[in-house]
Amino acid sequence: MLSSDEWQKRTVEDGAVRCPACDALTVTMGACAVGAYTIYQEYVCENCGYEFQAMFGLIGCVPGHNNEDNDARGIVPPAGN
């Protein structure tokens, strides 16, 4: 079983969500709980049945699509990679 830190590091490196218990890529997304600055996404592993939640934290904001002047409030979209 990976620790939370180990799982987070590997998920970012792989660009894919794996089961922290058995390493399978066959995980199914469940419900998503949205808070003011955190989001919890439920997953169920189809291989071993392990249930876990990915926790996402607030890191910033970007303009929406309907602004006449995107930079009017000092919010600059992230640079493309």
Judged by CB under 5 A, which of 10, 11, 44, 50 binds Zn ion? 50
Of residues 52-71, which lie at the interface with Zn ion (CB under 5 A)? Answer: none
**What single letter denotes the amino acid at residue 53?**
Q
| Cα–Cα distance for residue pair 69/24, rounded to 1 Å | 45
Q: Which CB sits closer to Zn ion, 22 or 39?
A: 22
Judged by CB under 5 A, which of 19, 43, 52, 54 binds Zn ion? 19
| Cα–Cα distance for residue pair 52/29, rounded to 1 Å | 10
Q: Which CB sits closer to Zn ion, 48 or 75?
A: 48
* Cβ count near 39 (within 10 Å): 14
